[in-house]
Amino acid sequence: MSRIVRRPEPHTATCLLAVACLSASTLSFAQAWPVKPVRMIVPIAGGGSTDAISRLVGTKLGEIWGHTVLVENRPGGSTMIGAEVVARAAPDGYTMLMATSAFPANFSLFRKVPYKLSDFAPVSNVAESPNVLAVHPSVPAKSVKELIALLRSRPGQINYGSGGVGGSTHLAAELFKLLAKVDITHIPYKGGGPAVTDLLGGQISMIFGNLPAVLPHVNTGRINVLAIASAKRSQTMPNLPTMDEAGVRGFEASTWAGLLMPAGTPQPIINKFYADLQKIYAQPDMKERMATGGFEAIGSSPKEFAAYIDMEVARWEKVIRAAGIKAE
């Protein structure tokens, strides 16, 4: 009996060959990438801790790639100016965004955001820096439970400062108000530094401040810290309880910095980028240098970071709507 062998139709074979060639070409391109300098857009002004982390990561990646990572500060618009640059960039692997914790909140905070979440491809959450609940020494509370009792006994009479409407320190305090069921008055400042200064002077009673900004004054006794706002305890202050441990269940409000690329960037490039990030995390000095800036290395995978951003968008949308927060 003769055996019939079916051959693919000519057009089918041609399509399969084209797909195979395209896949091989993309993989080869990713393996060679980068072949020129890469831009890292940092959507905040230079000189802060996030900028320092960005430059550290950029320098380390440049050493691995053999090509400079050009750190470009594009501040303004609650980080939206810099983010839009990346959203509109070619998805060729040569433009990245060092997003901050303002990124997910902006989608609910502003009526018009010049890009969509789907315009970005997550690479990795690089590092986190926890906020801490800090009070002036005149506040008669030595724990979060004592503070909550005090605030409930004096609704609206005690104020807190923040680095500005919609910032991480403002949203952290509003989350605290919702979960702890307390009423405190918001005093916004143009930056976290002035808010800490007025906390030191007693003009405000409390703040959810970034750990690096608050820590020097804790060591001198000019500020008391009651809890840390991260999901786990800090290596810098291991004896300080988390807000969850202190009785405010489900509380988490950290400042973070993570890398995104334009949507459509070839997956092999994103995979290589993530693998190279793991290499720099493995370097002995990396975690120590991050800790000096008040950050803890994270290094989550693209999938993990995407899920985290989705969670952050949903969480802050709930807080912003419940608190009736409107951008200035």
Which stretches does DSSP call E strand in the chain? 38-42, 69-73, 95-100, 120-135, 159-162, 185-188, 206-210, 224-228, 254-262, 296-297
pLDDT at 4: 46
* pLDDT tens for each residue of 98-121: 999 999 999 999 989 999 999 999
Peptide bond into 8 cis (omega under 30): no
Q: How far is residue 90 from each of residues 7, 73, 162, 265, measured CA to CA in Å?
A: 40, 19, 36, 8
> Does residue 93 sit within a domain?
yes
Residues, the chain: 328
Residues 123 and 258 reside in one and the same domain: yes
pLDDT at 3: 47
Q: Give the CATH number, domain containing residue 317.
A: 3.40.190.150
Determine the Cα angle at 35 with ends 125 and 15, to 5°: 90
* pLDDT tens for each residue of 30-66: 568 999 999 999 998 888 788 989 999 999 999 999 9
Residues 152 and 291 reside in one and the same domain: no
**Cα–Cα distance between 270 and 279 in angstroms, integer?**
14
* pLDDT tens for each residue of 113-164: 999 999 999 999 999 988 899 999 999 999 999 999 999 999 999 999 998 8
Residues 269 and 313 reside in one and the same domain: yes
Phi, psi dihedrals of residue 3, rounded to the nearest 5°: -105, 130
Residues 75 and 220 reside in one and the same domain: no
**Cα–Cα distance between 328 and 325 in angstroms, integer?**
9
Q: Structural domain of residue 169, as residue ranges?
A: 130-228
Residues 6+ apart with CB under 8 A from 17: none
> Does residue 209 sit within a domain?
yes
Least confident interval from 2-11, 70-79, 293-302: 2-11
